[in-house]
């Protein structure tokens, strides 16, 4: 009797992605491949240059508002925590100074990014 064996590559083994981050990355990559170029056009591709410019200005203005809001919320929350800790928690400036400096850098960084997009 003749025994025919399949080659190792032809056995139908499936490769499984085990890492959760790799699975999400593969999903994001496949979603990018499925995106249609028509999504990049304003008004279905019939918009004029002014319509495209108005749409871009609208999107960037929205992004600017979001960045200002994020910076304001970061600053308000951190300064509120610092003030509460000093007023009611008995903490000294040396205890909360690093939080205040970090919040200033993060909050103002977000606001500067928003300002760049103005």
DSSP 31-91: HHHH--GGGGSGGGGT--HHHHHHHHHHHHHHHHHHHHHHHHHHHHHHHHHHHHHHHTS--
Q: Of 64, 62, 61, whose CA–CA distance to 72 is shortest?
A: 64
**pLDDT by residue, tens only, the chain of 118 residues:** 565 666 555 555 556 666 777 778 888 887 777 766 555 555 555 567 777 788 888 888 888 888 888 888 988 998 899 989 989 988 998 888 998 898 888 888 888 888 887 6
Rounded to whole angstroms, the Cα distance separating 60 from 110 reads 14
DSSP annotation of 117 reads T
Query: Contacts for 75-82 with beta carbons within 8 Å, 24 or more apart?
Result: 75/103, 75/104, 75/107, 75/108, 77/103, 78/102, 78/103, 78/104, 78/106, 78/107, 79/103
Which residue is listed with tokens 């083994």?
Answer: 13
pLDDT confidence of residue 44: 54
Rounded to whole angstroms, the Cα distance separating 37 from 107 reads 36
pLDDT confidence of residue 80: 92
């Amino acid at each position: 009797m003749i025994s025919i064996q399949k080659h190792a590559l032809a056995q139908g083994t499936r490769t499984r992605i085990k890492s959760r981050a790799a699975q999400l990355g593969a999903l994001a990559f496949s979603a990018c491949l499925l995106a249609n170029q028509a999504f990049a056009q304003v008004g279905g591709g019939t918009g004029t240059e002014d319509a495209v410019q108005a749409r871009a200005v609208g999107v960037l203005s929205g992004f600017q508002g979001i960045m200002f809001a994020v910076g304001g919320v970061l600053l308000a929350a951190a300064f509120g925590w610092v003030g509460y800790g000093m007023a009611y928690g008995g903490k000294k400036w040396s205890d909360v100074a690093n939080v205040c400096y970090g919040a200033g850098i993060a909050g103002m960084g977000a606001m500067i990014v928003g300002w760049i997009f103005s």
